Amino acid sequence: MTWNEYYMNIAIAVREKANCLGRKVGAILVKENRIISTGYNGTPEGMLNCTEGGCVRCKNREKYKNSIGYDVCICVHAEQNAILSAARFGISIENSTAYTTMRPCFDCSKALLQAKVKALYYLHDWSHPVPELQTQYALIQKQFPGGVKKINMTDPRSHWANQTASKKESSLPPAIKIKSKKL
């Protein structure tokens, strides 16, 4: 297993706690080969979980389509949570590398860029539905000195992570089956 795959597997594990009716995302920040922060998406501490109806935008996805209305969404993105945890504990993320299970959105890309995160690795692609904004998005992503790269590996929980509740399947993740080996 390469280091990139190793870290992406950890971001996938972090994603397990995501509680959002939208796509589930996990993110970690790595510096000098050490994980310095992690985050998954969901409502702020102390507020009702998104999966329990805590976020007006997430529960009205017909009105607030994909990539629209981020400013009124109370769900904190995984990358934002990783940045904010580092801020809370006073950890510099300058020159760190972000591993995220989904390509960072517009807002997260600019936050990561301005915090001087040097490179991004993602598992699932994301693009903005409005062409001119997609062009701008590409410009932001071009600014990362270490680049923005996709890691090609299989995601065993892709279906759960990438379905949104508007598809009206189950909004609750299926239980994770962990095979335990008898010692």
The catalytic site residues sit at 79
x/- site string to Zn ion, residues 80 to 109, per CB under 5 A? -------------------------x--x-
β strands within 41-116, DSSP E:
97-102
User: Given candidates 11, 14, 18, 20, which one binds Zn ion under the rule CB under 5 A?
Assistant: 20
Among 58, 93, 115, 117, binds Zn ion (CB under 5 A): 58
Q: Any idea what the Cα angle at residue 12 is, between residues 182 and 123, rounded to 5°?
A: 135
By CB under 5 A, how many residues form the interface with Zn ion? 8
What secondary structure, in 3-state letters, does 102-113 show?
Answer: ECCCHHHHHHHH
Distance CA 36, CA 92 (A): 9
Q: What's the gap between Cα 63 and its chain centre?
A: 22
Using DSSP, state whether 49 is helix, strand or coil: coil
- Find the shortest distance in angstroms from Cβ 152 to Zn ion: 22
- In the bound state with Zn ion, the residue whose beta carbon lies nearer, of 105 and 123, is 105
Binding of residue 120 to Zn ion (CB under 5 A): no
Report how far Cα 106 is from the mean position of its chain's Cα atoms.
12
**77 is a site residue for Zn ion (CB under 5 A):** yes
Hey, what are 181's tokens? 């080996």
CA gyration radius, the chain: 16
Give the x-and-dash track for 136-155 against Zn ion (CB under 5 A).
--------------------
Closest approach of Cβ 177 to Zn ion, in Å? 25
From the list 27, 29, 50, 111, which residue makes contact with Zn ion (rule: CB under 5 A)? 50
Interacting residue ranges for Zn ion, rule: CB under 5 A: 20, 50, 55, 58, 75, 77, 105, 108
